[in-house]
């Protein structure tokens, strides 16, 4: 089980609820950061992912390594949270 | 063992799903509402957003029942809840292959293999790429296809929107919430509805429309988009548009890759052909919505097609169970 999962979202993004829904089906807790409420964190997202998009999911594993998943991409998200 | 079988108790060869719907956009959710309500056990598979392209549309003004319009996300959410209320199940995953095995259809999915008596393909379409240099290089780093997802990254920035149809117009108007200015590059003339063109005109302080202007290249520096180079078709001159980002809305591409080798027939543009009952060339595999050849690419017509497909699927399933009804014999009406 990952140590921490943070999802960066906006309120108009339709793929963001999909990531949240998927994590819920897997029983995994997550933190959500809405970039409309926290525009100051956009640079952090860009530095971590190299992308100006949401959702961005940062999975911190037990050994503190991180995986960054851009968008709702099950082929990357599923192994990242395994 | 795949998850679907475990969770639902259906999906094996011995106990196949009544109906698997590939996709969860308006056509799919409408069909699921109808079939679930009639106790046809229904499972939907969605690899992207529930609601499909409707969900990524900022605002929907032309779906009946909403006098003031409704956000695409909210409309999709309402459709999802309505279908789930009657028992439709939505699985997050991707259908990778469909194999016709006669009365059963085998679906290879990211969640394992499942079997179904019928399949409805309602995978819709996705936005096309424009195919110019820089587009792939700056994907998601200045080149975008979803305004509602990525628009917030361009607060007080300059943008270029490529396209002249309804989506380009609608999303340009949405992007004015963030951008300081938008150059809209339209290859020929505006194809958007009159209502949207009037809305564009209302935003003329922020949106400049460049008709007869091609997009030739997206150029960047230090990992960020800096300008778009195009051609003014009237003068033949090269034109440059300094920008921080580009949003592309130049048409739709049907999602049909997984139908290769399924026996389903595509038209010359890659959309799925059906008969008047919305059944494909393969008995038991139906198709509805934007991915269907001849579809009118409207949310309202997609939901209508979904409902029609559901009724046809019900008829098909009943026929499979009881066998075909005897044909009326002319001259002997008393027999029936």
Question: ipTM score here?
Answer: 0.81
Same domain, B81 and B154: no
Query: Given A42, A53, A74, which is nearest B149 (Cβ)?
Result: A53
Spatial distance between the Cα atoms of B10 and B232, rounded to a whole number of angstroms: 58
Reported confidence tier of residue B157, pLDDT bands at 50, 70, 90: very high
The string of DSSP codes covering B8-73 is HS--SSSS-EEEEEE--SHHHHHHHHHHHHTT--EEEEESS-TTHHHHT-SEE-SSTT-TT-EEHH
Same domain, B28 and B166: no
Spatial distance between the Cα atoms of B82 and B93, rounded to a whole number of angstroms: 21
Same domain, B7 and B122: yes
Query: Given B71, B92, B146, which is nearest A18 (Cβ)?
Result: B92
* pLDDT for res A57: 97
* Interface contact flag, A70 B150, Cβ < 8 Å: no
Query: Given A13, A14, A22, which is nearest B76 (Cβ)?
Result: A14
Reported confidence tier of residue B334, pLDDT bands at 50, 70, 90: very low
Instruction: Tell me the residue length of chain A.
Output: 82
Per-residue pLDDT tens for B188-231?
999 999 999 999 999 999 999 999 999 999 999 988 999 999 99
Q: How far is CA B202 from the centre of its chain?
A: 29
Judged by a CB distance cut-off of 8 A, whether residue A13 touches chain B is: yes
For A35, which residue in chain B has the nearest alpha carbon? Answer: B152
Judged by a CB distance cut-off of 8 A, whether residue A8 touches chain B is: no
Which tokens is B248 given?
A: 């592309």
For B139, which residue in chain A has the nearest alpha carbon? Answer: A51
* Interface contact flag, A12 B71, Cβ < 8 Å: yes
For B55, which residue in chain A has the nearest alpha carbon? Answer: A14
Mean per-residue pLDDT, B166-171: 93
Q: Is residue B334 part of a domain?
A: no
* Interface contact flag, A74 B93, Cβ < 8 Å: yes
The closest alpha carbon to B206, from B181, B178, B243, B177, belongs to B181
Per-residue pLDDT tens for B262-273?
999 999 999 999
Label the pairing between strands B143-144 and B125-127. Answer: unpaired
pLDDT at A25 over 70: yes
Q: Give percent of chain A with pLDDT exceeding 90.
A: 67
Reported confidence tier of residue B335, pLDDT bands at 50, 70, 90: very low
Q: Which residue has the tokens 């960020």?
A: B224
**Where along chain A do its domains lie?**
4-81
What H or E segment, with its residue span, contains residue B100? strand B95-101
* pLDDT for res B328: 59
Domain boundary among B248, B274, B291: B248
- The mean predicted confidence, pLDDT, of chain A is 92
The CATH number covering residue B21 comes to 3.50.50.60
In what side-by-side order are the strands of the sheet with B224-232?
B213-221, B224-232, B238-242
Query: B207 has which bridge partners?
Result: B182
Residues spanned by the domain of B302: 3-127+252-322
* Interface contact flag, B49 A14, Cβ < 8 Å: yes
Same domain, B161 and B209: yes
Q: Give percent of chain A with pLDDT exceeding 70.
A: 100
Q: A interface mutation test: which of B84, B152, B244 has the most A CBs within 10 A?
A: B152
Query: B42 has which bridge partners?
Result: B19
Domain boundary among B208, B232, B248: B248
Per-residue pLDDT tens for A1-13?
899 999 999 988 8
Label the pairing between strands B143-144 and B285-287. Answer: unpaired
- The mean predicted confidence, pLDDT, of chain B is 92
* Interface contact flag, B56 A14, Cβ < 8 Å: yes
pTM, whole model, 2 decimals?
A: 0.81
Mean per-residue pLDDT, B83-104: 95
Mean per-residue pLDDT, B89-107: 95
Which tokens is B15 given?
A: 């106990």
Q: Is residue B223 part of a domain?
A: yes
Spatial distance between the Cα atoms of B91 and B116, rounded to a whole number of angstroms: 15
Q: Is residue B327 part of a domain?
A: no
The closest alpha carbon to B171, from B158, B184, B157, B155, belongs to B184
Q: Is residue B209 part of a domain?
A: yes
Which tokens is B48 given?
A: 């992207």
Spatial distance between the Cα atoms of B313 and A66, rounded to a whole number of angstroms: 46
* pLDDT for res B251: 87
* pLDDT for res B6: 42
pLDDT at B260 over 80: yes
Query: Given A14, A22, A50, which is nearest B148 (Cβ)?
Result: A14
Domain boundary among B214, B248, B282: B248
Judging contacts by C-beta atoms under 8 Å, the chain B residues touching residue A51 are: 140-141
Name the least confident of A63-67, B58-62, B174-178, B198-202.
B58-62
For residue B89, give every residue at least 6 positions away whose Cβ sits within 8 Å of its Cβ, in sequence order, or none.
Answer: B8, B42, B43, B44
Same domain, B109 and B219: no
* pLDDT for res B336: 37
Work out the number of other CB atoms within 10 angstroms of the CB of residue B131: 10
Mean per-residue pLDDT, B249-258: 92
Spatial distance between the Cα atoms of B214 and B225, rounded to a whole number of angstroms: 18
- A81, B30, B202, B223, B245 from A76: Cα distances, Å: 9, 30, 42, 23, 26
* Interface contact flag, B55 A36, Cβ < 8 Å: no
- A21, A60, A81, B22, B92 from A26: Cα distances, Å: 9, 16, 9, 22, 11
Spatial distance between the Cα atoms of B313 and B278, rounded to a whole number of angstroms: 9
Which tokens is B245 given?
A: 């980002």
Q: What is the CATH number of domain A4-81?
A: 3.40.30.10
* Interface contact flag, A12 B73, Cβ < 8 Å: yes
pLDDT at A70 over 90: yes
Spatial distance between the Cα atoms of B23 and A39, rounded to a whole number of angstroms: 33
Spatial distance between the Cα atoms of A80 and A23, rounded to a whole number of angstroms: 11
The closest alpha carbon to B317, from B276, B279, B281, belongs to B279
Mean per-residue pLDDT, B243-251: 96
Q: B interface mutation test: which of A12, A38, A51 has the most B CBs within 10 A?
A: A12
Reported confidence tier of residue B324, pLDDT bands at 50, 70, 90: confident
Q: How many domains does chain B have?
A: 2
Judging contacts by C-beta atoms under 8 Å, the chain A residues touching residue B93 are: 74
* pLDDT for res B297: 87
For B144, which residue in chain A has the nearest alpha carbon? Answer: A53
* Interface contact flag, B56 A75, Cβ < 8 Å: no
pLDDT at B78 over 50: yes
Mean per-residue pLDDT, B25-50: 96
Same domain, B71 and B89: yes
Query: Given B94, B144, B152, which is nearest A36 (Cβ)?
Result: B152
At residue B160, the 3 state secondary structure works out as: strand
* pLDDT for res B325: 66
Judging contacts by C-beta atoms under 8 Å, the chain B residues touching residue A52 are: 140-142, 144, 150, 153-154, 245
For A10, which residue in chain B has the nearest alpha carbon? Answer: B149
């Amino acid at each position: 089980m990952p140590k921490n999962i943070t999802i960066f979202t906006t309120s108009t993004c339709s793929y963001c609820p999909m990531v949240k829904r998927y994590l819920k089906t897997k029983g995994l807790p997550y933190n959500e950061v809405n970039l409309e409420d926290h525009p100051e964190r956009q640079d952090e997202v860009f530095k971590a992912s190299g992308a100006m998009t949401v959702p961005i999911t940062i999975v911190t594993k037990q050994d503190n390594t991180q995986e960054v998943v851009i968008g709702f991409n099950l082929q990357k998200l599923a192994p990242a949270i395994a | 063992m795949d998850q679907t079988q475990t969770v639902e108790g259906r999906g094996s060869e011995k106990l196949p799903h009544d109906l698997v719907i590939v996709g969860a956009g308006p056509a799919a959710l409408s069909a699921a509402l109808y079939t679930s309500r009639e106790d046809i056990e229904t499972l939907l598979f969605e690899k992207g957003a529930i609601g499909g392209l409707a969900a990524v549309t900022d605002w929907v003004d032309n779906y009946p029942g909403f006098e003031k319009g409704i956000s695409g996300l909210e409309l999709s959410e309402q459709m999802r809840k309505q279908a789930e209320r009657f028992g439709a199940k939505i699985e997050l995953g991707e259908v990778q292959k469909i194999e016709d095995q006669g009365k059963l259809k085998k679906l290879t999915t990211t969640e394992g293999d499942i079997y179904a008596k019928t399949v409805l393909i309602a995978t819709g379409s996705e936005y096309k790429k424009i195919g110019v240099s820089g587009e792939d290089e700056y994907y998601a780093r200045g080149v975008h296809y979803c305004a509602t997802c990525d628009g917030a990254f361009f607060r007080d920035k300059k943008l270029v929107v490529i396209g002249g149809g309804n989506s380009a117009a609608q999303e340009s108007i949405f992007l004015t919430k963030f951008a300081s200015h938008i150059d809209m590059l339209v290859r020929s003339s505006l194809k958007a509805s009159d209502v949207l063109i009037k809305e564009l005109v209302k935003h003329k302080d922020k949106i400049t429309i460049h008709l007869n202007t091609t997009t030739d290249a997206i150029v960047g520096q230090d990992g960020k988009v800096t300008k778009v180079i195009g051609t003014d078709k009237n003068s033949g001159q090269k034109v440059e548009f300094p920008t921080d980002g580009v949003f592309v809305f130049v048409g739709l591409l049907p999602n049909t890759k997984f139908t290769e080798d399924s026996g389903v027939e595509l038209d010359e543009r890659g959309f799925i052909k059906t008969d008047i009952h919305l059944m494909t060339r393969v008995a038991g595999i139906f198709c509805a919505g934007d991915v269907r050849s001849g579809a009118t690419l409207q949310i309202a017509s997609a939901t209508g097609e979904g409902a029609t497909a559901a009724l046809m699927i019900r008829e098909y399933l009943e026929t499979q169970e009881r066998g075909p009804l005897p044909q009326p014999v002319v001259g002997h009406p008393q027999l029936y």
